[in-house]
């Protein structure tokens, strides 16, 4: 139940041509406190509730628990969420032995494109595609829970 991931900005939309999957995501937060974030997410025709803990000092690792829930329940829970529902398309791109999840944001976060890669350890090496930009792993402004309250368009 430990999530280890790194986040990067994206320099171009070349990832779209390399994607093997794309899904529309809507997500909101029942609690956006970084110590215990509770997220509701609808990804195409599936829904999830996720609890995340505070990140460690590097910003790469944190507790994560997720459970699939009925879409109807998620739709009702989204109505209870804090202000600022995140709307994005997630593209999945396989590079060597890893999968990058690249999010293209809409609405208040229009113009933001960000890639994440999950790792087995904080020191694991991975291939960086040409479209990958600046690393923002430890910059809390790029957490979706932060973006829901402080949208990219206001930066």
Whether 90 and 23 have beta carbons less than 8 Å apart is answered as: yes
pLDDT in tens, the chain (155 residues): 889 999 999 999 999 999 999 999 999 999 999 899 999 999 999 999 999 998 888 888 999 999 999 999 999 999 999 999 999 999 999 999 999 999 999 999 999 999 999 999 999 999 999 999 999 999 999 999 999 999 999 99
Give the pLDDT confidence score for residue 115 in this predicted structure. Answer: 98
143 given a catalytic annotation: no
Rounded Cα–Cα distance for residues 90 and 92 (Å) = 7
Coarse DSSP helix, strand, coil percentages of the chain, rounded to the nearest 5 percent: 15, 45, 35
Of 29, 91, 100, 142, which residue is the catalytic one? 29
């Amino acid at each position: 139940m430990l999530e280890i991931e790194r986040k990067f900005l994206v320099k171009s939309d070349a990832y779209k041509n390399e994607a093997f999957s794309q899904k529309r995501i809507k997500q909101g937060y029942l609690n956006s406190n970084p110590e215990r974030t509770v997220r509701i997410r609808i990804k195409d025709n599936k829904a999830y509730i996720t609890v995340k803990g505070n990140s460690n000092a590097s910003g790469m690792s944190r507790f994560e628990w997720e459970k699939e829930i009925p879409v109807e329940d998620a739709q009702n829970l989204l109505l209870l969420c804090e202000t600022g529902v995140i709307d994005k398309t997630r593209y999945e791109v396989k590079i060597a032995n890893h999968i990058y999840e690249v999010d293209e944001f809409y609405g208040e976060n229009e113009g933001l494109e960000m890639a994440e890669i999950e790792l087995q350890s904080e020191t694991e090496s991975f291939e960086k595609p040409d479209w990958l930009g600046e690393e923002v792993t430890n910059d809390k402004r790029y957490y979706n829970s932060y973006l829901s309250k402080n949208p990219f368009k206001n930066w």
